[in-house]
Amino acid sequence: MTLRTTLARALALTLLAAPAAVLAAGGSAQAATTSGTTSSLQPVSGTVVYGGTVDLSGQVKAADGSYIGSGSGTVTLQAAPYPFTSWRNVATASSPTYADFYDVKPTITTRYRIVYSGYRSSSNESYTASTSAVVTVPVAHSFSLKSKGLHLWGKVAPAAKVKLVFKKKSHGKYKKWFKVKTTKKGKWSTHLHGAAGTKVEIILPATPGYAGAVRTGRII
């Protein structure tokens, strides 16, 4: 075998081996994976009085229950005020793990939910978008009460024409006494007629979009 033939064969083997090395390197790469997600919004207990605020806490987890780190998508708080016909964006959080929204101020009974944007990565795990279940935050009219002797007056806000129900306690139970109408500006006024020490309950009934409220007191 001549030196020229040996060199030619060595060169051919080298050229043939190169594509095989490229194929081997390509086969070792790992494809990015995509995980489903679950968004949740913590239920709220109690009622918010008109003018007050509420804190809402949300969270997004991957399908295996693990937390999704900050920067992996955004979480948007959405609200649908009564009569709950449409959703609007309220605020956005950048941490899916702790999507907390403070001092949210509903002016009428409102439904809330969080919407996770999802996250796409070319090298690491990606996450699908998801929406939480709805949480309803009841809002009640604020109900001021002032007195001077047996004269009582106050105001309902936001202004509404309603009938306040007065009850007095007799034989261990509250019984209907009389009703007082508020003006279109929400103002009301009345005089009580009862013995000192009589316990009184004033009920502001629920109206469309607002929860009811109750105040109690005693004639002095």
What CATH architecture is 34-139?
A: Sandwich (2.60)
Question: Residue 68: what pLDDT?
Answer: 92
Residue-wise pLDDT tens digits, 14-54:
434 444 444 334 444 455 699 999 999 999 999 999 999 99
Domain spans of the chain, in order of start: 34-139, 142-218
Residue 12 or residue 108, greater confidence: 108
CATH of 142-218, one of 2.60.40, 1.10.3470, 3.40.50, 1.20.1070: 2.60.40
Same fold yes or no, 34-139 and 142-218: yes
pTM of the model: 0.81
The Cα–Cα gap between 159 and 143 comes to 10
3-state DSSP assignment of residue 32? coil
Please report, in angstroms and rounded to a whole number, the separation of the first and last CA atoms in the chain. 125
Question: Residue 31: what pLDDT?
Answer: 56
Which tokens belong to 57?
């806490």
